[in-house]
Every structure is written in structure tokens, then in C-alpha cells.
Amino acid sequence: MRRADRWTGGRAVSAAGVLAALLLSASPPDRLSAQDSQFGIRGLGTPGRWESVRSRSTGGAFGPFDPLSPLMEASLADIGQLTGTAAGGTSNRDVLVGGTTTSLRATRFPVMGVAGPVARRLAVSVGFTTYLDKSWDVTLRDSFMLRGVLQRYTDEITSDGSVADIRLAAASRLTRRIALGAGLHVLAGSTRMTAERQFDDSTFHRVQQSAEARYDGLGVSGSVLIGLAPGLTIAGWARRDNRLRAKVADTTSAVTDLPLMAGGGVLFAPSPSARLGASVAWRSWSKAGAGAFDTWTWSAGAEFGSRRMPIRLGARGGQMPFGPGTEAPTEVAGSLGTGRAFAQGRALIDLGLERLERRGGGLTERVWTVLVGLTVRP
């Protein structure tokens, strides 16, 4: 290596470290969230995307095969060295409902984790991702008869927080073709909720109530990675969570059953500079109660070029678990991205751009999301 390259690489690692510190410390754990959605207001929330920026840039198709995406454990078997990763994304969301459009904006940090080998055939990972995003803010203008007079008021009900999925995972490559993994999931989080009403008639005092709801639950998961042929790999995974318990002021306010999930994928790498993937997943969200639906999701994507600076693109679609009416809302998205390795591959920055559209029950959401991921291999 030339001297200039070494110098550049060292500075890059330092800068990447600073950026990583910013990413990791910019927000407390209960602000870790994924993509908000109005569809999640009525239900448990908006399920998170258990994908790194690299996977998400391929529509999620590479999720089962990406050791830094907390979707499957078996892919950890090929992690090779200690690796830390974090991701952040800023979304601009247009909500169209009832003939009006509202522009919303949010910044989230959906994935964070550390993984590495601890023995010759064993790798472990610890980290967390968003299980359910529960941040929303609803304002409502209405009126009703009170004391014989039509009283106009403005309501604002907010929820700020999420349920995080804290995962402890282990994986082992049993043979050259087969790797197995398993994970234990602790669901924990909280939301700061407020309900306010301001009457136009100031004789009525402002209604202002607030509470902190805490959530907990447990889950287990298992996965397998099978190499069918050189360059062709398939994956399968399943997960079972028990229930989500909500507590307000140490009193259980709700217990909701959580879904059984299963999925699989295929990855085909015809050459070192081309990788194609696809995946599918099913989740039995209808167990969560009225207004919840079982969902199917699919994704397909590709990555081209060298691992030092690849080009990624993908598409995905499927259903949303919560919504009004009798049919699940749908979503479809397209994404693209790239990455850049620094310092002999010890630091990687991934960038992604996603365009998403959700439809259902008279509501349409269109979202642009800019994603930034940072991976460090010290």
C-alpha cells in the first residue's frame, strides 16, 4: 500500500468512528424506531424493518443472507470478524386522506448491533432493532354540545416511543453447505403518551393528561442457511413471540398476542460482481386482535460491482398488519443504494434511498427515505 493510501485510510477510520459515535449516541434507545405510519396508530404500531442499510437498499431481499441484518441468525456464521453496525434514516412522508395532504418528517435509528466469532464454528451477535414503532401525533378539530352550547375544541394525542427487539443470537456453520442459528428476543420499550384538548372557550380549562406506557415480551427464533451449489444459497427462518404486555403506572393495561413469523429466501451470485436475491415472509398478525391482518411480504433485489463500492437496487411489496376495513393495507417500494469501504474494508458507509407507497382504507402514504449505515470492523 502506498503511504498516501494508508494515511487516507487511517483518517477515514477515525472519521467513521466519530460518525459512528454520533449515530450511536444521538438518540436514546427508546427513540430507536423504524418507519412511522398512520396505519399503525389504530393498531399495535408500525412493525420495524429488521434490515441493515445494505439489505434495505436491495428491497430487503438480502436480509436473510446479511449477517448485519437482524432478521436471521444463521448468516452470522460467516461474519468472520468482530463487526459493529448502526443505521439511521430520515423520512419525508406525505399522508393523503380525506382530500388533504399532510407532510410529515421523522428521523429514526432502526438498527444497531455488534457481532463476531467467539469460537471456530460459533459466532454470536447482540443488538437491537425496532419491533414496533409507536411514535405518532394526531391532531383533531371537532365540536360537541356541552352545557347547552356548541363547544369547539382541538385535540392532540401523541405517542412517542417504540418497542425494541433486543436480540441475542448465535450461529454455527455445521458444514460447508449448512449453517444454523438461533436467537432469543427480549421485547422492551416505552412510549410517552399525552392527550390534550384545548377548547375555544377558555372558560373550560385545557385537558392535559400524560402517561408512560411500558412494554415487554419474549420471543425465540431459528434459521438455516443452505448452500445448494456454488453461488446459490437458500435460507429459511421462523420466529415465535409470546405476547406484548403494556403497563401504565405498574398496572397492566393490555396484553396482546404477537404473531408467528416465517420466511425464506434465495441468493444467487453468478459472478463475483453480481448478486441477485429474493425473499418472502409471512406473519400471523391477525392474532393481535380486531383490525389486524396476517401479512405476506416479498422482495427482490440485486447488488452489482465490487464489494468496495457496489450498486444496489431492489423492490418489495406486501401487506401492512393494521388498518381499517376488512382488507389489509398494501405497500410497495423501490430502493437503490451504494456503499463505500474505507481503510482496507474496516469501515463501510452504506447509503440508500427508498420510495415507498402504502394504500388502504382511503389513505395513501408516500414516503421518501434516505438511509445511512455505518459498519466498523476494528
Residues within window 286-315 making contact with another protein, judged by CB under 8 A? 288-289
CB of 191 to another protein, least distance (A): 8
Smaller CB distance to another protein: residue 45 or 183? 45
Could you say whether residue 372 binds another protein (CB under 8 A)?
A: yes
Could you say whether residue 122 binds another protein (CB under 8 A)?
A: no
With CB under 8 A as the contact rule, the residue among 59, 60, 67, 88 that binds another protein is: 88
Could you say whether residue 27 binds another protein (CB under 8 A)?
A: yes
Could you say whether residue 70 binds another protein (CB under 8 A)?
A: no
With CB under 8 A as the contact rule, the residue among 70, 116, 117, 361 that binds another protein is: 361
Site residues for another protein, window 183-222 (CB under 8 A)? 193, 195, 197, 199, 203-209, 211, 213
C-alpha cell at 26: 444521538
Could you say whether residue 36 binds another protein (CB under 8 A)?
A: yes
192 to 134, 137, 304: CA distances (angstroms): 10, 11, 43
CB of 90 to another protein, least distance (A): 4
3-state secondary structure the chain: CCHHHHHHHHHHHHHHHHHHHHHHHCCCHHHCCCCCCHHHCCCCCEECCCCCHHHHHCCCCCHHHCCCCCCCCHHHHHCCCCEEEEEEEEEEEEEEECCEEEEEEEEEEEEEEEEEEEECCEEEEEEEEEEEECCEEEEEEEEEEECCEEEEEEEEEEEEEEEEEEEEEEEEECCCCEEEEEEEEEEEEEEEEEEEEEECCCCCCCEEEEEEEEEEEEEEEEEEEEEEECCEEEEEEEEEECEEEEEECCEEEEEEECCEEEEEEEEEEEECCEEEEEEEEEECHHHHCCCECCEEEEEEEEEECCCCCCEEEEEEEEECCECCCCCCCEEEEEEEEEEEEECCCCEEEEEEEEEEEEEECCEEEEEEEEEEEEEECC
Candidate ranges 38-46, 68-76, 115-123, 219-227; the one touching another protein (CB under 8 A): 38-46
Smaller CB distance to another protein: residue 9 or 301? 9
For residues 152 and 27, give the distance between their C-alpha atoms in angstroms, rounded to a whole number: 38
Smaller CB distance to another protein: residue 125 or 284? 284
By the 8 A CB rule, do 209 and 198 touch? Answer: no
Smaller CB distance to another protein: residue 73 or 365? 365
Could you say whether residue 266 binds another protein (CB under 8 A)?
A: no
- Could you give the string, one character per residue 165-184, with x where binding to another protein holds by CB under 8 A and - elsewhere? --------------------
Could you say whether residue 124 binds another protein (CB under 8 A)?
A: no
CB of 262 to another protein, least distance (A): 24
Site residues for another protein, window 92-111 (CB under 8 A)? 95, 97-98, 100, 102-107
119 to 240, 375, 377: CA distances (angstroms): 27, 22, 18
Could you say whether residue 135 binds another protein (CB under 8 A)?
A: yes
With CB under 8 A as the contact rule, the residue among 118, 122, 126, 138 that binds another protein is: 138
Could you say whether residue 114 binds another protein (CB under 8 A)?
A: no
By the 8 A CB rule, do 359 and 366 touch? Answer: no
Candidate ranges 15-23, 60-68, 262-270, 298-306; the one touching another protein (CB under 8 A): 15-23
- Could you give the string, one character per residue 232-251, with x where binding to another protein holds by CB under 8 A and - elsewhere? --------------xxx---
With CB under 8 A as the contact rule, the residue among 81, 139, 143, 273 that binds another protein is: 139
Could you say whether residue 326 binds another protein (CB under 8 A)?
A: no
Could you say whether residue 143 binds another protein (CB under 8 A)?
A: no
Could you say whether residue 6 binds another protein (CB under 8 A)?
A: no
Candidate ranges 69-77, 119-127, 140-148, 229-237; the one touching another protein (CB under 8 A): 140-148
